[in-house]
Amino acid sequence: MRDPYDVAVEEGAAPSATVGEASSGVVLLGKYELRKLLGVGAFAKVYHATNVNTGQSVAIKAISKRQAFRAGLVAHVEREISIMRRLHHPHTLKLFEVLASKTKIYFVLEFAKGGELFHKVAQGRISEDLSRLYFHQLISAVRYCHSVGVFHRDLKLDNLLIDENMDLKVSDFGLSALKDHIRPDGLLHTVCGTPAYVAPEMLAKKGYDGAKVDVWSCGVILFALTAGYLPFNDQSLAVMYRKIYRGQFRFPRWTSPELRSFLSRLLDKNPETRITVDEIIRDPWFSKGYQEVRVQHKEVVGEQESRGRGLNAFDLISFSSGLDMSGMFMEAGVSYGVERIVSGEKAGNIMGKVEEVAKAEGVMVTKRENEEGAKLEGQKGNLVVVVGIYRLTDKLVVVEAETRERRVGNGARFWEEKLKPELRRLAYKPEAGKANSV
């Protein structure tokens, strides 16, 4: 599947504006003048804009708060902000800042003038030499992402952009996972991605290595660049998945022997024997002309990179997987109950208490990856309350509970009478007899 708020025009979408439409004269929040609409999706629009003070070209992704909130996409927005803030590589798209109005969230992004790599391939296959250059840049970015604990999980031609210097930029990190999301078995388990690019082990739904599924997707991309079409494609999704699971594809006659060998290692259906990113660097086809991009790593320790200093408002948004993002998504005129408790307990212990209370009240719990929160629903499927656990310091977390109702109802009562009293017992007490609540 596509990024849930991807801006490319989706089938069946009814955009209210036309791609390419000029928007000159509109100044966003006094900082960016909108120039042209670049893309429209179900939940977002992307514009080319310029900074009114510096003249710098940027891309602005405008996400509807109401639509994202109602579609349950808040976590995707939070995750993309968190991940993009930790990436500092010349071939990953830069996030400059995040802004908000009453109705929209705005990602201010690096502007890639050349558009999607997909459009270049749609015009015909690319030479091996140019494909190798783009693949050098892709692998450099992917290798860097893995080194800082980020697994993209939706690498595809649509998410590879080209800047004015014809350099590649990896974008759309909304479906990415962090090392923090890996379960005790050492694997990720959320099935996501785009059908034609998804790895066979993800289809098996038994858990997968995030780095290895990214390598598979890179193999699909390289095949498409040099062949002009995707290796696995069929009008029937079931047939396409069967081909992927069996690793069935054919090389075009013009593929060189060295490239065939390399692609076979990338598109190895067995993740255990599939080539790794470090092995890619040493492959004869790949290594020709390759120059490693040197990037100065900024220390990132899970969600604790703000350790040792005070947190400002933007840190609270960007240095965790969503700490206190709720205010950015509130609809005008609608009262949502949001409360937060600071605790020194481990996330697992907090979630254990949440599950204990929910079970006693007959409330179903659907946990997020890595015990960082949960959605609690009644027996009839009605939403009761959403609980999030976010890292504040190396010793403290914030427990956020949100009831999404237009008036006081079962969710508010469950929180006030059942769950809140139990969680307050876990609140951080800096001094004896004193609990700290925010």
pLDDT in tens, 240-253: 999 999 999 999 99
| pLDDT-derived band at 115, boundaries 50, 70, 90 | confident
- Choosing from 59, 91, 110, the residue where a domain stops is 110
3-state secondary structure of 143: helix
CATH of the domain at 279: 1.10.510.10
Is residue 186 in a domain? yes
Range of the domain at 386: 335-424
For residues 98 and 148, membership in a common domain is answered with no
Mean pLDDT of the region 129-150 = 96
Strand 95-100 with 44-51, pairing: unpaired
Is residue 436 in a domain? no
Q: Find the radius of gyration of the CA atoms of the chain.
A: 23
For residues 41 and 88, membership in a common domain is answered with yes
For residues 88 and 152, membership in a common domain is answered with no
For residues 177 and 47, membership in a common domain is answered with no
The pLDDT of residue 294 is above 90: no
Check residue 19 and give its pLDDT.
Answer: 53
Q: Residue 154 catalytic?
A: yes
For residues 204 and 142, membership in a common domain is answered with yes
190 or 74: whose pLDDT is higher? 190
Q: Determine the angle formed by the axes of helices 210-227 and 128-147, rounding to 10 degrees.
A: 170
For residues 191 and 149, membership in a common domain is answered with yes
Calculate the alpha carbon distances from 210 to 7, 176, 191, 396 in Å: 25, 9, 11, 28
Check residue 171 and give its pLDDT.
Answer: 93
301 or 231: whose pLDDT is higher? 231
Is residue 417 in a domain? yes
Check residue 429 and give its pLDDT.
Answer: 73
Separation of alpha carbons 438 and 425, rounded Å: 14
- What are phi and psi for residue 162, nearest 5 degrees? -120, 130
User: What is the number of domains present in the chain?
Assistant: 3
Check residue 221 and give its pLDDT.
Answer: 97
**Which of the residue ranges 162-171, 217-226, 316-325 would you say has the lowest mean pLDDT?**
316-325
124: left (phi over 0), alpha (psi -120 to 50) or beta: left
Check residue 417 and give its pLDDT.
Answer: 85
The mean pLDDT of the chain is 80
The pLDDT of residue 83 is above 50: yes
For residues 78 and 149, membership in a common domain is answered with no
Amino acid at 347: A
For residues 133 and 88, membership in a common domain is answered with no
Length of the chain (residues): 438
Q: Which of 3, 154, 209, 324 is catalytic?
A: 154
Separation of alpha carbons 309 and 324, rounded Å: 18
Q: Determine the angle formed by the axes of helices 210-227 and 257-266, rounding to 10 degrees.
A: 150
| pLDDT-derived band at 409, boundaries 50, 70, 90 | low
Number of H helices, E strands in the chain: 14, 16
CATH of the domain at 73: 3.30.200.20
Check residue 322 and give its pLDDT.
Answer: 34
Q: Residue 367, class by beta-carbon neighbours within 10 Å (0-12 exposed, 13-18 middle, 19+ buried)?
A: middle
Is residue 228 in a domain? yes
For residues 101 and 147, membership in a common domain is answered with no
Is residue 387 in a domain? yes
Is residue 310 in a domain? no
The pLDDT of residue 137 is above 60: yes
The pLDDT of residue 408 is above 50: no
The pLDDT of residue 406 is above 90: no
* Cβ–Cβ < 8 Å for 43, 76: no
Between vectors from CA 210 to CA 179 and to CA 106, what angle results, nearest 5°? Answer: 70
Joined tokens for residue 156:
């595809």
The pLDDT of residue 332 is above 60: no
Between vectors from CA 36 to CA 30 and to CA 38, what angle results, nearest 5°? Answer: 115
- Choosing from 68, 89, 110, the residue where a domain stops is 110
Mean pLDDT of the region 159-176 = 92
| pLDDT-derived band at 369, boundaries 50, 70, 90 | low
| pLDDT-derived band at 258, boundaries 50, 70, 90 | very high
Is residue 249 in a domain? yes
231 or 26: whose pLDDT is higher? 231
Mean pLDDT of the region 223-233 = 95
For residues 244 and 170, membership in a common domain is answered with yes
Is residue 298 in a domain? no
Joined tokens for residue 417:
């009478």
Separation of alpha carbons 374 and 105, rounded Å: 23
* Cβ–Cβ < 8 Å for 5, 197: no
| pLDDT-derived band at 312, boundaries 50, 70, 90 | very low
For residues 199 and 229, membership in a common domain is answered with yes
CATH of the domain at 370: 3.30.310.80
Check residue 24 and give its pLDDT.
Answer: 57
| pLDDT-derived band at 394, boundaries 50, 70, 90 | low
Closest CA to 85 of 73, 76, 94: 94
| pLDDT-derived band at 328, boundaries 50, 70, 90 | very low
- Choosing from 81, 110, 139, the residue where a domain stops is 110
**Proportion of the chain above pLDDT 90, given as a percent:** 41
